[in-house]
Amino acid sequence: MDVKGHLDLLLLAVLADAGPVHGYAVITALRERSEGVFDVPEGTVYPALHRLERAGLVISRWEQATPRRRRVYELTTDGRHARTAKQSEWRRFVTGVQAVIGPAATRATA
């Protein structure tokens, strides 16, 4: 499924729940929590994380403790606020779409 336009919210949500975590774990969590629905090209997640960092929603640091040097990402306070706002926006969007397509359409496609 194409997550274009929603990747920021998904990454913020994963980081909010997982805490400080490196990119590989973010991608694994994204795949596992969506049960394979969001199978994005993994390489595109890193530029997205960098973009969130430039926006001040995420901070990162190199972690040397592991066998291989890895970048660890963490939400900032602004990132948490952004996650809450985007989540509310998404829920309103889903409610609106659901109201338009209606339960009949949902049943028809089920």
Partner 1 sequence: MTAPTGDGPVEQYLDEMFDRLAGTGSAGRRLLAEAEGHLLTAAADGRARGLDAATAEREAIARFGTVTSVVRHVPAPARAIRAALRPLLTGTWLAVGLVLLWWGGSGVLTWLLGWPWTRLLIATDGFGGRPDMCGRPWVPPDPAADCFTRYREYLHLVPQGGDRDTYPWVAVGGALILVAWLLVRRTTVLGSAAWTPAPVVFGLGLAVPFGLAAPVLAFYGISGAFPQAQNWALSHLTAGLLAAVIGVAAARHVRARPRRT
Write out the residues near partner 1 by the rule CB under 8 A. 22-24, 27, 41-44, 46-48, 50-51, 67-71
Tell me how far, at minimum, the Cβ of 52 lies from partner 1, in Å: 12
Tell me how far, at minimum, the Cβ of 107 lies from partner 1, in Å: 35
Phi, psi of 21 (to 5 degrees): -155, 150
Tell me how far, at minimum, the Cβ of 70 lies from partner 1, in Å: 5
Tokens of 84: 């809450």
Judged by beta carbon, residue 44 or residue 95, the one nearer partner 1 is 44
Judged by beta carbon, residue 13 or residue 27, the one nearer partner 1 is 27
Measured between alpha carbons, how far is residue 50 from residues 22, 56, 93, 97 in Å? 12, 10, 26, 31
92 burial type by CB count under 10 A (0-12 exposed, 13-18 middle, 19+ buried): exposed
